[in-house]
Amino acid sequence: MKFNLRGLRALATPVAAAMLFALPVQAQQLSIATGGTGGVYFPYGGGLAEVINRHVDGASASAEVTGASVENVALIARGDSDIALALADTVYQAFHGEGAFEGRQVSELRALASIYPNAVQIVTLADSGITSLEDLRGKRVSVGAPGSGTEVSAQTLLAANGITYDDFEPQRLNFNETADALRDGDIDAGFWSVGPPTSSILNLATTRSIRLIGMTEAEIAAAIEAEPTFAPYTLRAGLYEGMEDGVPTISTPNVLIVHADMDADLAHAIVSAMYENVDELIAIHPAANDTTVAFSTDSTPIPFHDGALRYLDEVGASVQDHQRP
């Protein structure tokens, strides 16, 4: 039922008016686009939904399983989701109409924050004989789910080092499917671009001896030259069962994105609740230890939403020129 001002004036008695204003206000329903259940996006998005439900008045949120970054950008652009998680390289390409988004620029994307780095994790079984990127040639390799940021990152870093899909047998599997296929011997290696550690690799390592394939300094440099949002990263020793040494790879920030037309007060309230209750997110997944204002202003590749900028200005953060609309 909707009421306008004329209708309010027509109320017969003060009692009737009091009854009207006592009606409960329905919370705005927000959809958070995440990824598959085997990665970090889904638990992080679920944790963010809980933070919104507890701390943002007039809003209610829920996390939705999706194909991750590329699909999530499309969901925001179409208005089918209100908030989404996506890799910085995917977000940058979409905002500028480059790479996978050539000819279909999504200039209305805005960032609420960069929340944690994704590390590219290339996994094989310990006895596969695969120890380098070059060893992937001629093998069966999962490059991530269709429309995922994992596939975008895999294609970019491989192409930067002279390897294309013509050089191996690509499989487009999500994280859980990749782990199952490795365990069952249906593929030889798989890519994850996700906040470490991730449950699907943790579970795989309890049933099979695994190896994480490291990148050389030259391979890392070539990848960064091809994609400036990449950064060097070392997967720490002991991250997964049987992992005795650190493994050099690359990382990409994860960005919390919205449409430019999101209400500024709502965006401000979400960002405030996230930063001021980050301990609740950390309790869901340790990747949220990197959900800080400093990481966000260092890493975000597109403009912040006006509501997020208001919060950053309030806390005295240094915002880069490209991060302002």
Rounded average pLDDT over 266-286: 97
Predicted local distance difference test score (pLDDT) of residue 232: 87
240 φ, ψ (degrees, to nearest 5): -125, 155
- 31 part of a folded domain: yes
Rounded average pLDDT over 160-176: 97
Dump pLDDT digits (tens) for 201-236: 999 999 999 999 999 999 999 999 998 889 888 898
- 11 part of a folded domain: no
Identify whether residues 172 and 205 lie together within a single domain.
yes
315 φ, ψ (degrees, to nearest 5): -95, 5
Query: Using 50, 70 and 90 to split pLDDT, how confident is the model at 26?
Result: low
Query: Which of 230, 252, 274 finishes a domain?
Result: 252
Identify whether residues 284 and 296 lie together within a single domain.
yes
Amino acid at 66: T
Identify whether residues 171 and 239 lie together within a single domain.
yes
Identify whether residues 210 and 183 lie together within a single domain.
yes
Rounded average pLDDT over 257-261: 98
CA angle 315, 321, 323 (to 5 degrees): 65
Rounded average pLDDT over 289-293: 93
- 157 part of a folded domain: yes
Residue 62's domain comprises 27-116+254-323
How many Cβ atoms from other residues are within 10 Å of residue 19's Cβ? 11
Dump pLDDT digits (tens) for 100-140: 899 999 999 999 999 999 899 999 999 999 999 999 999 99
Query: Which of 231, 252, 273 finishes a domain?
Result: 252
State both tokens at 254: 């994860």
- 220 part of a folded domain: yes
Identify whether residues 227 and 288 lie together within a single domain.
no
Strands 210-212 and 189-194: what pairing? unpaired
Task: Report the CATH number that the domain containing residue 195 is assigned in CATH.
Answer: 3.40.190.10
Which DSSP state fits 136?
G
Distances from the Cα of 170 to the Cαs of 105, 118, 316, in angstroms? 27, 21, 47
Predicted local distance difference test score (pLDDT) of residue 25: 52
- 183 part of a folded domain: yes
Identify whether residues 108 and 135 lie together within a single domain.
no
Predicted local distance difference test score (pLDDT) of residue 283: 96
Identify whether residues 125 and 225 lie together within a single domain.
yes
pTM of the model: 0.73
- Residue 15 in this model has a pLDDT that exceeds 60: no
Identify whether residues 70 and 127 lie together within a single domain.
no
Computed over every residue of the chain, the mean pLDDT equals 91
Which of 26-30, 65-69, 80-84, 134-138 is predicted least confidently? 26-30
Identify whether residues 112 and 141 lie together within a single domain.
no
Identify whether residues 182 and 245 lie together within a single domain.
yes
- Residue 45 in this model has a pLDDT that exceeds 80: yes
When divided into structural domains, the chain yields a total of: 2
Closest CA to 53 of 28, 82, 72: 28
Predicted local distance difference test score (pLDDT) of residue 42: 95
Query: Which of 223, 252, 281 finishes a domain?
Result: 252
Higher pLDDT, 24 or 289: 289
- Which residues share a beta bridge with 116? 254
- Residue 181 in this model has a pLDDT that exceeds 80: yes
